[in-house]
């Protein structure tokens, strides 16, 4: 059944029921993504740090908008007394209740290359995106305790060697072939499913649907590594935990994912140079400049600077020395470049004591305090153990030991009656914290997987 604006209210109870019964949720906002907008080169760089990429996407947010209600918009439209606009506004409020229901369920949320989807969902239905990456991580894990990115999953062992193309359409096709077994999807009467043979790519609902199919196929494939093998691996299985809360980072050469549960990877980049040059220069000029150094990779920063990656780290010193007497260009190491950027940041942040207090006051948006409190609670009572960057050893004999089939209790209308997601009373925040505690107890396994077992099945690697 297709839920659209005209039948949304009358079928909202069916949506709630589906949320209660679901094992996991697959989402897709169908955002045009980071490639759209004023300048692709200004928005992406192969040597972005996770913090830099977050800030670029955060600025990019103004170009991509989800329908969402806030009080200022509500008041403006009410003043216009336009009946049709008011009705659309109320519909948008209604959809925010669905997002809250999914978040409150605590169940696994799946997407494909989903960083933008997560950022915009948090921004539009909860609170404005935090100023820095660490706060964004805390806010996100508070709202969605368990996220899984199928693009990262497909790019990691044991899938990496047998999946050549991780774009969603190609991934869906590959997972229909050996050694994978695509799930058989049966729809209830009156609820026709998408037909994957006709491909409705870049329609958000269809993309979310095939993302879910891809996850099921890959999760079930992991069951083949168990002894005895398992045909079906659920969304609550310990086998998929290594992929939790790691979101794929697109077009970053050596940092494959954003780690929501801890520090991000910090590759050495001792083979990378920062080069500044005249605006007239082209890529061919850079290749000519570094022609003596063999194979290089160029990542443009702007019209007058770029990162150049050398194949041999020991060549870096030679390259830097060649620019000492050059007038038109300058070469420095990546470490020197980042050090100077850090110094500039520190200078800008040398405010008066009152200035710091004022900044802290603004940063702690009172509308978001309940979610910060929830997050404080969640950090001490998480659904899954904090992820480590190292290996995860999994004991097949104890896989899925003692896991519950679902989360008990229904989502009450009272919990979903919020029309503005950020303006939540403190008492409601405490209620949700208690709910998280109850859910955590219900989801905690009676047994655990041995982390000292020699049977390492797969891992999300430190470097690629």
* 56 vs 72, more confident: 56
Q: Is the pTM of this model over 0.85?
A: no
Residue, of 433 and 299, whose pLDDT is higher = 299
Averaged pLDDT, 246-264: 94
What's the sign of the alpha-carbon dihedral 246, 248, 249, 255? positive
Q: What is the pLDDT of residues 173-205, one digit of tens each?
A: 999 999 999 998 876 665 566 665 555 555 668
- Portions of the chain given CATH number 3.30.70.330: 272-341
Q: Reply yes or no on whether the pLDDT at 13 is more than 60.
A: yes
- 103 in Cβ contact with 144 (< 8 Å): yes
CATH architecture of 272-341: 2-Layer Sandwich (3.30)
> Architecture of domain 1-31+68-265 in CATH?
2-Layer Sandwich (3.30)
List b or e across 175-212, with b for residues whose CB sees 16 or more CB atoms inside 10 angstroms: beeeebbebeeeeeeeeeebebeeeeeeeeebbbbbbb
pLDDT tier, 350 (very low <50, low <70, confident <90, very high otherwise)? low
Question: Per mean pLDDT, which range of 87-91, 237-241, 407-411, 441-445 is the poorest?
Answer: 407-411
Mean of the pLDDT values across residues 118-139?
A: 91
Residues of the chain with CATH 3.30.420.10: 1-31+68-265
């Amino acid at each position: 059944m297709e839920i659209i604006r005209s039948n949304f209210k009358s079928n909202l109870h069916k949506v709630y029921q589906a949320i209660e019964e679901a094992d996991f949720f697959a989402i897709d906002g169908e955002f045009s993504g980071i490639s759209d907008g004023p300048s692709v080169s200004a928005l992406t760089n192969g040597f972005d740090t996770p913090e830099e990429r977050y800030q670029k996407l955060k600025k990019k947010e103004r170009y991509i908008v989800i329908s969402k209600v806030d009080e200022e918009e509500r008041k403006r439209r009410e003043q216009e007394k336009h009946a049709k606009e008011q009705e659309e506004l109320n519909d948008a409020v209604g959809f925010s209740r669905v997002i809250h229901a999914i978040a409150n369920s605590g169940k696994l949320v799946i997407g494909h290359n989903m960083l933008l989807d997560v950022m915009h969902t948090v921004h539009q239905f909860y609170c404005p995106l935090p100023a820095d990456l660490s706060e964004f991580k805390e806010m996100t894990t508070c709202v969605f305790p368990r996220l899984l990115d199928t693009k990262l999953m497909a790019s990691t062992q044991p899938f990496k060697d047998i999946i050549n193309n991780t774009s969603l359409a190609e991934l869906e096709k590959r997972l229909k072939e050996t050694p994978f077994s695509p799930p058989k999807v049966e729809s209830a009467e009156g609820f026709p499913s998408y037909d994957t043979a006709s491909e409705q790519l870049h329609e958000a609902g269809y993309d979310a649907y095939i993302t879910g199919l891809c996850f099921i196929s890959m999760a079930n494939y992991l069951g083949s590594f168990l002894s005895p093998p398992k045909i079906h691996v659920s969304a609550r299985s310990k086998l998929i935990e290594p992929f939790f809360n790691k979101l794929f980072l697109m077009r970053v050469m050596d940092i494959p994912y954003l780690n929501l549960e801890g520090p991000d990877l910090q590759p050495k980049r001792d083979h990378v140079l920062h080069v500044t040059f005249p605006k007239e220069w082209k890529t061919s000029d850079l290749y000519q400049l570094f022609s003596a150094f063999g194979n290089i990779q160029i990542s443009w920063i702007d019209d007058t600077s770029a990162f150049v990656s050398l194949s041999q780290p020991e060549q870096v010193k030679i390259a830097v020395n060649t620019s000492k007497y050059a007038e038109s260009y300058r070469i420095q190491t990546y470490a020197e470049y980042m050090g100077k950027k850090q110094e500039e940041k520190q200078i800008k942040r040398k405010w008066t004591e009152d200035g710091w207090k004022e900044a802290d006051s603004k940063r702690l948006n009172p509308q978001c305090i309940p979610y910060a409190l929830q997050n404080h609670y969640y950090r001490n009572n998480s659904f899954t153990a904090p992820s480590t960057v190292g290996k995860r050893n999994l004991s097949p004999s104890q896989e899925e030991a003692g896991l519950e089939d679902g989360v008990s209790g229904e989502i009450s209308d009272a919990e979903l009656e919020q029309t503005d997601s950020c303006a939540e009373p403190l008492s409601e925040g405490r209620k949700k914290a208690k709910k998280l505690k109850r859910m955590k107890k219900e989801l905690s396994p009676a047994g655990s997987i041995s982390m000292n077992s020699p049977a390492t099945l797969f891992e999300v690697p430190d470097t690629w």
